[in-house]
Each structure stands twice: as C-alpha cells, then as structure tokens.
C-alpha cells in the first residue's frame, strides 16, 4: 500500500516546485462529426444556373480542402427523395412505401463525415457549405465505442 505520509504529501514545499507540464484528462483525439445537409425541392429549383454551378464548385473546393487537411472521412450527395423507399418490418414482413420517412418539406440532401478537434471547427466547415445559405446544415457528433473508466 502506498503510504502518503511516508512522502510527506500533501506538502506545500512540493507544490511550490511542482511541475507545470500540461495535462488533459479527456481524449484529445479528434471526434468525427456528421455535417448533414438539408434541402427542399423549391430551394433547389429556385436557383439560377449560375447559383447551381456555384454550389457545385463550392462543394468541390471544400471537399478538396478537407481532404488536404486530412480531415475528410467521407462525403456524398443523396439522390432526390423521389427515388427514396422507406422500409418497415411488421410481423417479420418487410413493407416499403415510396418517399422519405419524415413528411417534412426539408429532406436530407447529402453529408460530410469529417474529423475535427472540436465542434467549433466542425461548425466552421458547416457554415462554409453553400447549402447553409439556402436551408440548413446540421452538425452532429458521431457516437464512438470508447468510454473512460467510470
């Protein structure tokens, strides 16, 4: 058994000469964030050809930047909701319906999976996605399989 008293701890003399090296208790390894891009049919259809062209270019350039920084895990655009099927299993039987699960005006149009030091960095990239101007981009941390000793 480690006996504190043996070492005279806690003693102010130790504290005065104490080390000053940094220490973090939490994981400091980047967290993965999903940037979820929302859209609606009207907002896309209402764009001019130049605006659409600009949107595509903005995505290309931000993907390239994220890749060069070593932050990009994955990214993709999703096909129009008109092509979506929603699956439900009832009594072991799968049934499908046309269209997305949520009957909202907005639909999920694409995503970026990025690794960032913190959520502020992820928000920074989300704000630069052109879609944030038209509808919205949601930033959500990805759950991971790790846990500190509790």
Question: What is the binding site for other proteins (CB under 8 A)?
Answer: 1-2, 4, 6-7, 9-10, 14-15, 17-32, 67-74, 115, 117, 141-150
Residue in the structure block whose two tokens are 């269209």: 99
Of 80, 57, 62, nearest to 127 by C-alpha is 62
Taking the complex as a whole, the smallest distance from the CB of residue 37 to other proteins amounts, in Å, to 20
Kindly provide the residue ranges of all beta strands, DSSP E only, lying in 1-99, ordered along the sequence.
31-39, 72-77, 85-90, 93-98
Cα gap 111→74, rounded to integer Å: 8
Instruction: Please say which residue, 49 or 76, places its beta carbon nearer to other proteins.
Output: 76
| Beta carbon of residue 36, minimum distance to other proteins (angstroms, whole number) | 16
Q: Which is nearer to other proteins, 66 or 134 (CB)?
A: 66
Nearest approach in angstroms of CB 7 to other proteins is 5
**5 versus 83: smaller Cβ distance to other proteins:** 5
Q: Alpha-carbon distance 113 to 34, whole Å? A: 5
Burial tier of 50 (Cβ tally within 10 Å: 0-12, 13-18, 19+): exposed
The CB-of-25 to other proteins minimum distance in angstroms stands at: 3
State the nearest-atom distance from the C-beta of 87 to other proteins, in Å: 24
Residue closer to other proteins by CB (options 109, 116) is: 116
Q: What is the 3-state secondary structure (H, E, C) of 64-83?
A: HHHHHCCCEEEEEECCCHHH
CB of 116 or CB of 137, closer to other proteins:
116
């Amino acid at each position: 058994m480690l006996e504190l008293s043996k070492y005279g701890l806690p003693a102010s003399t130790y504290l005065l000469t104490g080390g000053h090296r940094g220490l973090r208790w939490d994981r400091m390894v980047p967290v993965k964030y999903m940037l979820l891009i929302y859209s609606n049919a009207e907002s896309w259809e209402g764009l001019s050809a130049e605006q659409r062209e600009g949107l595509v270019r903005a995505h290309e350039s931000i993907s390239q930047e994220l890749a060069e920084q070593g932050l990009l895990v994955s990214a993709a655009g999703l096909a129009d909701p008109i092509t979506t099927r929603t699956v439900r299993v009832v009594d072991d039987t799968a049934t499908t319906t046309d269209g997305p699960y949520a009957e909202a005006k907005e639909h999920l149009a694409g995503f970026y999976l990025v690794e960032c030091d913190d959520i502020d960095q992820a928000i920074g990239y989300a704000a630069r996605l052109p879609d944030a101007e038209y509808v919205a981009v949601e930033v959500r941390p990805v759950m991971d399989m790790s846990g500190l000793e509790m």
